[in-house]
Structure 1
C-alpha cells in the first residue's frame, strides 16, 4: 500500500489505482478499448508577433474538458480517474512537461500510471528545440484536439500553465499581450465548447503538501536526474542557457549551487558528503519556496480567468489532501479514496456527464 507518510506524493498519485479493493461507485459507462495515440505532426515554431490569431470556424461546438488548478493540486489524478469513466484522451498543458527529459523534476506522470490512456504533448518536444511558446501550443494543441474528436473521443486538457490554456482556447488570442498578468482584457469567447473543472484546496494545506512533495521527489531520484542532466557525453559538467526546459523549477536552483560545488557524475542524494549536502540543501529550500510561489501565481491567474467570464466549476480537494497526508495505513488510505470520490471525482463526473448531454 503506497500511503505511508514518508512518501505522500507517491501515495496521492497512485493510491486509488494500486488499491485493488477500491472501485469507483459512479454509474457511468466505462471505455473498454482505447486507441493508441497518433503520431504528432512535425512541430514548427511560430512567430509571436503582436497580430491577433483568429480561430478556425470548424471548432465551434466541439466539446473539450479542461482540468485546471495550481501545481500539485491533483489535476493528473482527476484526469486519469475521469478518463477511466469516459472515452477520452489527455492533452498535457504544462509548459515544462511538453519537453522530453527531467521526468522527475517536471513531475511527469509515469507511463505505468497512465493506465493505457493516450497522453499527448507530454515529453514531445526536444529541449534542444528552444522555447515552446503559447502560440506554438495553440497551433499544435488545436491540431491534437481535432485528431481526438475525429476518433469520437473526448479531449481532456490538463495542466497548470494557464497561459497555454488561454492561448489554446481564447477566441481571439493576442500573443503580444499577457492578459493573465493584467495586460489587456480576458476574452470570454472560446474556440471550443468547454467544461472547466478547477481543482482547488486551502493554500496552507497545499503549501504543506508541496514542501513534502519536494522531499519525496529527491528521495525518488531528482538529484541524480539533475546531475546527469548537467553532464555531457564526455562526462564534462556544462551550464544551461535558461530557455525552455532550463526554466523548470529545480534546474536554475541547482545550477547556481553546482557552480560553487560541482557534483561528481556518480553522486547520489543519499551518499553526499556533509559539505555538499549542506550546500545543496539550500537549493532544496529554494525549490520549495519557488514551487509554493508558483502555485500562488497560478491561482491568481485562474481567478483572473474566472473574473473575466470563464465558467469554472470549483472542486474542493482540501479534505482529501488532509486525509492523504495523514495516511499511515490501509484504513486511512481507503478513507482518502472515499473522500476524493465523494468531494472531487463524483461531482466532476456528474458535471462532465451533464456537459456531454447538453
Structure 2
C-alpha cells in the first residue's frame, strides 16, 4: 500500500494539518523596538483571565478533536473543500506549532494543502522557548478574531487537548491542570462551538499507528531526526519544546550509541547489534504513540463527561480497519467508507451549525 492510499497524518490528502495562506494570517513578528525574543515569552499569562464578548453574541468555531492518527486533518480538509471559502484552520497540535521536524510531527507538504489557510502551524522557532497553553490562548484568540473579521469561520484542529481547553473556556486558569481528577472543567465557553470528535476502536487504531510509523520512516523520518538530534543532548534538553515530539527521545538514545553519519542510519544487515538497537527505537516510538492516543482519548472523555462539552462522536473504525486489512493499494475501499461514515455525517452537523442564527 502506498503512502497516498491511506490517511497518514502527514503526507497525503488523507491527513492534512498545514496550509499555505491564501488569506492573510495573524502577524506575530515582534516590532523592531522590542527585545528580540519570542513574542509568547513577553506575554503576561497572569492569573485567571476572561475575554469580553458583545452581549448575546459569540463567534462560531468548529472544533475537530481526536487521538493522534484518527483522521482529524483529513476531515478538516474534507469540510473546508465541501464549504469552499468558508473556513480557515487554526492548528492545536502542540508539536506542530514549531518549525522543523515536518515528517516526525506529521506536517502536510505544501502541495497537499489545497489552498486552505492555516494558522499557528510551523510558525515558531523551537529555540525560542516552549509555548504554554496560556500563550496559545492569546495567539489563537487573535487568529480567531482575524478570521472572523474576514467573515470566515475558524476551524480548530489538533490533538493537544490542553491547548483546546485553554483557548475555548471562558475563564482560564493557567496554573490549573483540569485533566487531573480533582480539577473542575468549565462548561462555559468563549465561542459558539461545534465539536466533532473523530474516534476509532483503539485496537484498530493501534494497528494503523504502527503502520504509519513504518511509512514515516520510509519517507525520511530517520534522516530528519539524524540532522535534528545531537548525540550529546542530555535528558533535560530532550524533554522541552519540540524535543518532546515522539521520535526525538527514542532516536536520541539510538544516536548516542550510533552517532549519525552521512549514510542512512538504518541497521545494516551485517550489524545485528545496531539493527537490534534500531528496532528497539522503532518499537518504542510505536508504543509511545499508542500510549499518547490512549491519553488523548481519556482527556476527550473527561471534557465530554466532566465538562459537559457537546462532542459529536464520529466512528471511523471501519475506515481504518480497511486501511490495515485491505490489499487494495489504491485505497478506494477505505476512502468510500470514510466518505460515507465520517464525512457525510460531519457535513450534516456542520451545515446545521452554520445555518443557526
TM-score, normalised by the number of residues in structure 2: 0.87
| Offset at residue 127 of structure 1 (A) | 0.7
Confirm or deny: 8 A CA contact 1:37 1:120 kept in the other structure. Answer: no
What residue in structure 1 maps to residue 18 of structure 2? none
Cα separation, 2, equivalents of 1:323 and 1:262:
39
What residue in structure 2 maps to residue 257 of structure 1? 254
What residue in structure 2 maps to residue 346 of structure 1? 344
Confirm or deny: 8 A CA contact 1:5 1:327 kept in the other structure. Answer: no
What secondary structure, in the 3-state scheme, does the structure 1 residue paired with 2:12 have?
helix
| Offset at residue 266 of structure 1 (A) | 3.4
Residues 118-267 of structure 1 mapped to structure 2, 5 A cutoff: 118-230=117-229, 237-239=231-233, 241=237, 242-267=239-264
| Offset at residue 111 of structure 1 (A) | 1.8
Cα separation, 2, equivalents of 1:111 and 1:272:
36
1:253-281, CA deviations, whole angstroms, 9 ceiling, x for partnerless residues?
Answer: 11122222222243343768623232121
* Structure 1 unmatched ranges of 5 or more: 18-33, 232-236
Q: Does 1:37 align with 2:20?
A: no
Rate the CA distance shift 1:16–1:170 in 2: closer, same or farther, 3 A. Answer: closer
What residue in structure 1 maps to residue 333 of structure 2? 335
Cα separation, 2, equivalents of 1:6 and 1:115:
15
Residues 99-118 of structure 1 mapped to structure 2, 5 A cutoff: 99-118=98-117
Q: Does 1:56 align with 2:52?
A: yes
Confirm or deny: 8 A CA contact 2:133 2:174 kept in the other structure. Answer: yes
Confirm or deny: 8 A CA contact 1:91 1:155 kept in the other structure. Answer: yes
Cα separation, 2, equivalents of 1:193 and 1:39:
21
| Offset at residue 5 of structure 1 (A) | 8.5
Q: Does 1:355 align with 2:342?
A: no
Cα separation, 2, equivalents of 1:268 and 1:300:
36
2:80 alignment partner, one of 78, 83, 100: 83
Confirm or deny: 8 A CA contact 1:97 1:106 kept in the other structure. Answer: yes
Rate the CA distance shift 1:338–1:11 in 2: closer, same or farther, 3 A. Answer: farther
* Structure 2 unmatched ranges of 5 or more: 16-20, 30-38
Confirm or deny: 8 A CA contact 1:186 1:305 kept in the other structure. Answer: yes
Confirm or deny: 8 A CA contact 2:97 2:121 kept in the other structure. Answer: yes
1:260-313, CA deviations, whole angstroms, 9 ceiling, x for partnerless residues?
Answer: 222224334376862323212111111111100000000000000001210000
Rate the CA distance shift 1:111–1:277 in 2: closer, same or farther, 3 A. Answer: same
Cα separation, 2, equivalents of 1:305 and 1:218:
34
Cα separation, 1, equivalents of 2:270 and 2:137:
46
What residue in structure 2 maps to residue 309 of structure 1? 308
What residue in structure 1 maps to residue 317 of structure 2? 318
CA RMSD of aligned residues (A): 2.4
What residue in structure 1 maps to residue 297 of structure 2? 299
Cα separation, 2, equivalents of 1:12 and 1:247:
18
Confirm or deny: 8 A CA contact 2:93 2:159 kept in the other structure. Answer: yes
Cα separation, 2, equivalents of 1:16 and 1:246:
26
The 10-residue stretch of structure 1 (5-14 or 199-208) with the greater mean CA deviation from structure 2 = 5-14
Q: Does 1:280 align with 2:278?
A: yes
Rate the CA distance shift 1:196–1:273 in 2: closer, same or farther, 3 A. Answer: farther
Cα separation, 2, equivalents of 1:133 and 1:5:
33
